[in-house]
Amino acid sequence: MVTIYIDGKPYQVDAGQNLLHICLSMGINLPYFCWHPAMGSVGACRQCAVKQFRDENDTRGRLVMACMTPAVEGLRISVQDPQAVEFRASIIEWLMENHPHDCPVCDEGGECHLQDMTVMTGHTYRHYRWKKRTFRNQNLGPFINHEMNRCIQCYRCVRFYRGFAGGRDFDAFSNHNTVYFGRKTDGVLESEFSGNLVEVCPTGVFTDKTFRKHYTRKWDLQTAPSVCVNCSLGCNTTPGERYGQLRRIRNRYNFNVNGYFLCDRGRYGYEFVNSDRRIRQARLRRNREAAFESVAPDEGLQRIKEIVKKSGRTIGIGSPRASLESNFALRTLVGPEHFFSGATVKDHELVTEAIKILRDIPSSMASLHEVETSDAALVLGEDVNNVAPMAAYALRQSVRCKPQAISQKLKISDWDDTAAREAVQDQKGPLYLATIADTRLDDMATRTFHASPQEIARLGFAVAHQISPTAPQPENLDSAALELSKMIAQDLKDAESPVVVSGCSLEEKSILYAAANVVQALRSIGKPARLFLTLPESNSLGLELLEPGSLNQAFAIAREDNVEAAIILENDLYRRSNPALLEAFFKSIPSVIVLDSLDNPTAQKADVLLPAATFAESDGTLVNNESRAQRYFQVFVPQDDIKESWVWLRAIGDALGQEEPGARKTFDGLIADMVKELPFLAPVQEISPASGFRIAGAKIPRQPHRYSGRTSMHANVSVHEPQPPQDPDSPLSFSMEGFLAEPPIEQPPASLIPEFWAPGWNSIQSLNKFQEEVSGPLIGGDPGKRIILPPDPEQAAYFDEIPEPFASRAGELLLAPLYAIYGSEELSIHTPGEAQLTPPLRLEINPRDAQQFNLTGETVLQVSVDSQVFELPLHISASIPEGTAGMICGLPEMPYVALPAWGKVTPKPVNSSTENPG
């Protein structure tokens, strides 16, 4: 720590930190553009100028850029110095030379950093009187709108896209005042993090194209804290609504999880909420042949009551994409012994196993932030870019940690981005990727290893053994894998905070064991190694923590125990199980009750269908891959007869007279019951204040204080302003009234911040005001709490279920699952943009196997696997290991197959009569 003087006042600050970071952290307003809290300084825009004085006698001083000046003992600067103030205003004037003066028609208006900074510097009068330069805009694909005339050449976009996100198809072109930021030619931006340009760009050059289709000003959006439902990482989001429609998703900062960024699947995957396929009314069928008829909710409930009453036994099938509360409500309704996991049998087993592993080493679980700051990483099995994209972003940053030693030795501060990168050049910290095939992270890898799931597990076991000889050793490892395992072991041992990233996507339990062994081995030699497991879905962990039975057990009970009714919660079982098994299951159950938000094949099987709310219309808790329970809140009240699933289930309980009167009628009560029954879930109760929480007696409004049109929004229906909906379940209100946050003086707990905003800071940069320190934790602690908590039990034994070496089979290939960021996930695919980017169905085969099977480029293949036959176009790919084949799973046209599985692959016979799937 050193003492510096800002306008005569002493401050204790971190030595070497740059002055802009310091000023903003101290709450001093200083305008800036090219600096970004997650990307450091480059000194380009000259907006952050302050006056620096040699000593207390120096009255002249000189202008320096705050973002490029490190704090040293006794440093004296002035932010208010008239010359600095005048210069900062002139920078804005310059930036405005060519910037269009048409904020009212700009999508960024109202949340624009350039607007905020213009007001902050006080520049109002324009001296420049010439034509503005103009550019041609590009079509950058379905997500991002491009309006280059608004560019102020701060270089943030290109620094983010290339330097941080690793994209290649975007750059800065030309020079002087025609510098252009875009692609070489029009086309879809390739990076899965491209959406962050929208938040990184301080002006309206890059804006959200999906938002543009149903545009609303930021101040007219009703928002609530939320959590992404599109993968297991649980990135924090801020969705916004107007007129009953979900309009967009923005990042919500969480120091431990996603920091400043989101992936494009998460950012743009929201449009299913507005889909035509939404189930909006309760529906009934008289019998299985009859058509559905929409009915009033009460009629639906009445019917359910009849069914369940007369039923000897009702089973419940939960969901890895429904909230913990809804799953728990179902579990309570049907009884724990009749509650089954709605995940695939394999996922159920794998996640249950993952929970055991995490419970063995709770203190070693890595957060996403810890992955980002680890200095060596081994990835076992996961194609993170497609399965858990933000983990790929984190790993991309992690390789920069170790080489920081080089720049630090040269006394280059970590925030001095250009210099640090120059000193480091292309040196990278260790990152080993063991996956089935190529991934989009390969360019960062020290080494890649493409092999079958077994061999990936065996490599992991070998690494563990190399680290600690007491860890079991795989037999007959080939020499290349052995060498690689030694190299990996050495790098992990040399690291200060190594991380092992693994997960369930290859559906191979032994990979999890191998990953656990590596972490155990490292810990046994005193390394604080961490484990990061990606899981199948947004609440896979939450579901399995409730200890449901497996789907196969549900099927068996249905077959054998004359179950009368099944309640299926937010789940399309056709994505989870073999269709033949499902047909038999549905046949064996007289009454099927389905709660879901989108129509799907399972909903089509329902006898009673209840319209369930999506995440945007619900309160709930999701448990992410590191067991972090995170609360999301209703962004808006669902229309029609849509209700949160736990509300429906509670109503069913009521109808059955099952409920004890009182407690569980509220969300708080439901959670209290849950914690009472499953005490290890206690953190769920602590992640956000209960519904009765008030600040100064007031609720926290979901609508900004500038929300417009409230009195006229419904004027076509009635000129009387309707009473805003009440929210009995949370401390948030559906109105503008309530507590107006004035950070950092007074603000809601971080879990209840509906939108980051501070006086004078309308853009997302207002975040500075909510953090303890720039890019540090949120004031009062980041939202979310881990459920699996230390202390660690005694050191667990090593796993020794090492698989046999992979042996190819004559005439068969091992079909392994591949994933697509757009397409493999159930909900986001309903966004037109993501649907457009979904890859085609195909089977990927190694060229040598193709040759052996006499397959050539254009062939359509007949694939027999898991007693199903599909036709899939052949795709020859050198990165698929011999003896295996890759199949992108989860694509909407593909029925479920349990993979990995051996399959027979032949060219489609001419005049074949096999139906195409789907």
Partner 1 sequence: MNKYILLRHRDIPNLKDLQIYQENGGFAAFRKIVTGLTPDQVMQEVKASGLRGRGGAGFPTGVKWSFLPTNLWPHYVVANADESEPGTFKDREILEENPYQFLEGLAIASYAVQANTSYVYLRGEFDPLAAGLDRCIAAMEAAGLLGDNLFGTSYSLRLHTHLGAGAYVCGEETALLESLEGRRGLPRLRPPFPAVVGLYGKPTVINNVETLTNLPPILENGATWYRTIGTEKSPGPKVFCLSGRVKQPGNYEMPLGTTFRKLIYEYGGGILDDRPIKAIMPAGASSALIPATEAVLDTPMDYEAVAQVGSPLGSASVIILDDTVRMDWLANKTAHFFSHESCGKCTPCREGTYWMAHLTDRIAAGKAEAQDVELLHDVTSQIQGKCFCALGEFSIMAVRSGIELFRADFDARAKRVES
Chain residues binding ligand FES by CB under 6 A are: 20, 32-35, 43-48, 65, 67
CB of 35 to ligand FES, least distance (A): 4
Q: Which is nearer to partner 1, 295 or 420 (CB)?
A: 420
DSSP secondary structure string, 392-418?
HHHHHHHTTTTTHHHHHHTT--TTBHH
Stretch that binds ligand SF4, among 48-56, 148-156, 548-556, 705-713 (CB under 6 A): 148-156
User: 162 — phi, psi (to 5°)?
Assistant: -90, -50
* Residue 417: partners with Cβ closer than 8 Å, 6 or more residues away: 39, 40, 41, 42, 159, 163
Name which of ligand FES, partner 1, ligand SF4, none residue 416 binds, using a CB cut-off of 5 to 8 Å depending on partner kind.
Answer: partner 1
Asked if 425 touches partner 1 (CB under 8 A), the answer is: yes
Binder among 156, 247, 348, 605 for ligand SF4 (CB under 6 A): 156
Residue in this structure with the two tokens 């001095």, named with its chain if needed:
416
Radius of gyration of the chain (CA): 28
C-beta contacts of 657-666 below 8 A and 24+ residues apart: 658/333, 666/691, 666/728, 666/729
- Helix, strand, coil shares, percent, the chain, to 5: 35, 20, 50
**Segment (H or E) for 865:** strand 860-865
Asked if 155 touches ligand SF4 (CB under 6 A), the answer is: yes
C-alpha–C-alpha distance, residues 626 and 584, integer Å: 36
Each residue 37-66 as x (binds partner 1 by CB under 8 A) or -, in order, gives: -----xxxxxx-x------------xx---
Query: What are the tokens at 715?
Result: 């004027």
Tell me the helices (H) and strands (E) count for the chain, helix number first: 27, 36
Binder among 84, 235, 462, 887 for ligand SF4 (CB under 6 A): 235
Binder among 40, 141, 266, 743 for ligand SF4 (CB under 6 A): 266
CB of 260 to partner 1, least distance (A): 24
CB of 666 to ligand FES, least distance (A): 48
Asked if 246 touches ligand SF4 (CB under 6 A), the answer is: no
Q: Which is nearer to partner 1, 411 or 706 (CB)?
A: 411
Asked if 511 touches ligand SF4 (CB under 6 A), the answer is: no
C-alpha–C-alpha distance, residues 433 and 445, integer Å: 6
Residue 282 Cα to chain centre, angstroms: 31
Q: Which is nearer to partner 1, 426 or 560 (CB)?
A: 426
Query: What are the tokens at 575?
Result: 């994505």
Q: Is 560 helix (H, G, I), strand (E, B) or coil?
A: helix
Q: Which is nearer to partner 1, 49 or 774 (CB)?
A: 49
Q: Which is nearer to partner 1, 161 or 586 (CB)?
A: 161
Q: Which is nearer to ligand SF4, 153 or 352 (CB)?
A: 153
Query: What are the tokens at 529?
Result: 């190694």
Asked if 231 touches ligand SF4 (CB under 6 A), the answer is: yes
CB of 420 to partner 1, least distance (A): 9
CB of 79 to ligand FES, least distance (A): 13
Q: Which is nearer to partner 1, 90 or 864 (CB)?
A: 90
Query: What are the tokens at 600?
Result: 């799907």
Query: What are the tokens at 118?
Result: 């213009």
Name which of ligand SF4, ligand FES, partner 1, none residue 35 binds, using a CB cut-off of 5 to 8 Å depending on partner kind.
Answer: ligand FES
**CB count, 10 Å around CB of 136?**
10
Which of these, 482, 524, 523, 471, lies nearest to 499 by C-alpha position? 523
CB of 39 to ligand FES, least distance (A): 11
Binder among 40, 142, 234, 460 for ligand SF4 (CB under 6 A): 234
The answer to whether 376 and 429 are in contact (CB under 8 A) is yes
**Residue list 88-107, contact with partner 1 (CB under 8 A):** 90-91, 94-95, 97-98
Asked if 233 touches ligand SF4 (CB under 6 A), the answer is: yes
**Residue list 138-177, contact with partner 1 (CB under 8 A):** 152-153, 155, 172, 174-177
Q: Report the half-sphere exposure of 74 (CA within 13 A, side-chain side).
A: 4
Classify each residue of 817-829 as buried b or exposed e, where b means 16 or more C-beta atoms within 10 Å of its C-beta: bbbbbbbbbbbbb
User: 822 — phi, psi (to 5°)?
Assistant: -110, 110
Which of these, 796, 767, 637, 640, lies nearest to 703 by C-alpha position? 637
Give me the count of residues in the chain.
918
Sign of CA dihedral 261, 744, 617, 307: positive
Each residue 165-204 as x (binds ligand SF4 by CB under 6 A) or -, in order, gives: ----------------x------------------xxxx-
Residue in this structure with the two tokens 């970071």, named with its chain if needed:
21
Q: Which is nearer to ligand SF4, 49 or 815 (CB)?
A: 49
Binder among 67, 75, 262, 501 for ligand SF4 (CB under 6 A): 262
Q: Which is nearer to ligand SF4, 390 or 444 (CB)?
A: 390
Asked if 626 touches partner 1 (CB under 8 A), the answer is: no
Stretch that binds partner 1, among 82-90, 338-346, 393-401, 684-692 (CB under 8 A): 82-90
* Residue of minimal Cβ distance to ligand SF4: 266
- Binding positions for ligand SF4, rule: CB under 6 A: 151-157, 181, 200-203, 205, 228, 230-231, 233-235, 258, 262-263, 265-266, 388-390
